[in-house]
Structure 1
Amino acid sequence: MNEIKLIRSAIRGNKISLHTLLLLHRSQLYKIIHTYTNDEKIAIDTLCEATEDCIRTIHQLKREELFYTWMLRKHISRAVERYDYKRHLLSNLSTTYRTVAILLFGAQLQTNMVATILHTNQQAIIDMATQIDIDLQGKATIITEQFIRIPVPLQAIEYALQPPKTKRLFRSYLML
C-alpha cells in the first residue's frame, strides 16, 4: 500500500495505518530527536510522547501531503522542550537556526521541505544555511557525520513493534 493511501486511511481513523506510517519514519525521527536531546533515554521517551501525541491528534490533519511535515513538527517541538543546551555543537545557535541545521545537515532534507516545515520561503532557508556554515566555521559536515552515526537503539525499535496501548487502538488490532 503506498504512503498516500496509508495517510488517507490514518486521517479517517485507521490506527493500524497510522502505526505503519510511524514505523516507516521511526529511525529518522529518533535520530532527529537524539540530536536535540543528546541522550538516548530522553530521546526514546520524547519519541514515545510525540508518537502518542500524533496518534491523539491525527484527525486534525487536513491535507495528507503535509503528513510528514506535521509529524516532524510534533516531534521537533517535543524535542525542543527537552533539549539539553550543554555539551552540544549547536548550543550557540538560536532555536530556528538549530532546527534548520539539524534538518538540512543532519536529516538531509531538501531546502523546499525545510521551508515547508518551518513555514517560510526557500531563500530564507538558503540564507540561514549559509549563515550557519559561517557561524560553525565549516562544521556542517560534523553535524552530518554525527547524525549518520547515531545508532537507533533496540528499545526504540521494540517499542515501535508493540501494538498501541490504548483500548481503542488495541481493539483495532484485534479486528484484523
Structure 2
Amino acid sequence: MDEIELARRAIRGDIPSQLQLLQLYKEPMYRIAYSYMRNAHDANDALQEMTFQCLKNIHKVREPQHFKTWLVRVIINTCLMMQRQQKRVLLTDIPMDQPKQMSQLFELNEAITKLPIEQQELIHLKYFQDLKNEIKKSKHYPINQQVTVDGQHFTIHELIISPIQSRLKMSVDPSNTKKILSFEDIRLYDENGEEWGKIRNGFTMHGNIEEQFSIMLESNYFRIPKSLTIKFTKIEAIDIKDTTIIADFDKKQIVSPPSSLPVEVTIRDHYAIEYSFATAQEDYEEISYYLVDAKGDIYYSSSRWLGPQQFMQSFEGEPLSPATIVISSFEQYLNGVEEIHVELK
C-alpha cells in the first residue's frame, strides 16, 4: 500500500493505518524535533505531543497527499510552544568542548533568530529535514483595515499563508491611550462560518509590538476559503501610565506604582520585587522580564509565582536607582469583540 492510500485510510479513522503512518514518519519528525529542542529528552516529548495532536486532529486533513507536510506543521508548532515555555535557544551538534566553534555557533544562532519567523522555519526544514522542495511559496493577501476595540486602534496590513504557518502582519496606533501587551485570541472563519484558523498555541508574536509585528496562526494552507472573517476576542492591554514602575532600591521604595492596576508592588531585599494581586491570576504569565536603571543599563530577572495572587521577581547585579521596571504582561483585557471581513482573491 502506498503512502497516499495509507494516509487516506488514516484520515477516515482507520487506527492501524494511523499508527503505521506515525511509525513511518517517526524518524524524520524526530530529526525536526531534535533540530529545534537540541536534546533527546525534549525531542521525544515533542514527538509524543505531536502523536497526541495527530490522532486528535487527523480528520481535519483534507488531502491525503499533503499529510506529511501537515505533520511537519504539527511538530514545528509543538517545538515552538515548548521553546517558548522553556526559553531555550537553537543549538547544533557542535560539541561543547570546542570553544571556537561554539562562539561561531552562537553568532550564527543570533543571526538566525533575527530573521522573519518564516525564514527561520525554512532553515530548519532545509538543513535538518531537506523538505525545502516540498514547501510551496507563501500566499500574500493585502488587507489594510483598521480595527477598533474599546477605543484602541490597530491595523491589519496583510495575511500571509504558507504550508508551515500563517500570520497576520499588524501594527498598533501610537496615539492609543492603552498599551496592547498581547493578542491572546484571534480566530478566522471561512464563508461557511467554519473555523479555518486560530492563534497559534504557545509562540504567537514575532517583532516589536511598538512597530510592525506578526501574529502566528494555525491554519489550513491546503484549503484556501473564498473569504474570511477575522475575529478579535481577547486583547491584553493596560493604561499607558501603568506600563512602567519606578523603583528606588536604595530606599526600598516604589516611587511610581501602577495607579489603575489591581496590584500592590513592594521592594524586598536583594533587588527583589513582590507583586500582590487583588484577585487570583489564571495564566501565571511573567509580569515583567527586565528593568532599565538610572544609567540606562538593562537588567534581566528571574521570577516565580508564590501562589495565584503573589509573584516574585529578582534582578541580578546592582542596578542604579531609580530604576524603571517594564510591564510585559497583565491579566487585564479590552472590553468588546470586533471582526473584519476579507475577500481572498
| TM-score relative to the length of structure 2 | 0.33
| Corresponding position of 2:163 | 117
Question: Of 85, 101, 111, which residue of structure 1 is paired with 2:89?
Answer: 85
Identical-pair percentage: 27
By how many angstroms is 1:69 displaced? 1.1
1:56-135, aligned counterparts within 5 Å?
56-83=56-83, 84-85=88-89, 87=91, 89=105, 90-93=109-112, 94=115, 95-113=117-135, 115=137, 117-118=163-164
Give the structure with the larger strand fraction. Answer: 2
Contact preservation (8 Å) 1:103, 1:114 = no
Q: Which amino acid aligns with 2:111?
A: N
Structure 2 gap ranges (5+): 93-104, 138-161, 167-345
Contact preservation (8 Å) 2:10, 2:18 = yes
Contact preservation (8 Å) 2:122, 2:132 = no
By how many angstroms is 1:109 displaced? 1.7
Cα distance in 1, alignment partners of residues 42 and 71 from structure 2: 19
Q: CA RMSD in A?
A: 2.1
Contact preservation (8 Å) 2:38, 2:90 = no
By how many angstroms is 1:15 displaced? 1.1
Structure 1 residues 112, 27: closer, same or farther in 2, change over 3 A? closer
1:14-93, aligned counterparts within 5 Å?
14-83=14-83, 84-85=88-89, 87=91, 89=105, 90-93=109-112
**SS, match of residue 5 in structure 2:** helix
Deviates more, 1:90-99 or 1:6-15: 90-99
Spell out, residue by residue over 1:143-166, the C-alpha distance to the aligned partner (whole angstroms, 9 max, x if none). xxxxxxxxxxxxxxxxxxxxxxxx
Q: Which amino acid aligns with 2:77?
A: S
Give the structure with the larger helix fraction. Answer: 1
Structure 1 residues 109, 23: closer, same or farther in 2, change over 3 A? same
Structure number with higher relative contact order (C-alpha < 8 Å, ≥ 6 residues apart): 1
Q: Which amino acid aligns with 2:89?
A: Y
Cα distance in 1, alignment partners of residues 81 and 165 from structure 2: 20
Deviates more, 1:32-41 or 1:85-94: 85-94
By how many angstroms is 1:21 displaced? 0.7
Cα distance in 2, alignment partners of residues 87 and 110 from structure 1: 20
Q: Which amino acid aligns with 1:96?
A: E
By how many angstroms is 1:112 displaced? 4.2
Q: Which amino acid aligns with 1:92?
A: A
**Alignment coverage as a number of residue pairs:** 120
Contact preservation (8 Å) 2:35, 2:90 = no
Q: Which amino acid aligns with 2:71?
A: M
Structure 1 gap ranges (5+): 121-176
Contact preservation (8 Å) 1:73, 1:117 = yes
By how many angstroms is 1:110 displaced? 3.5
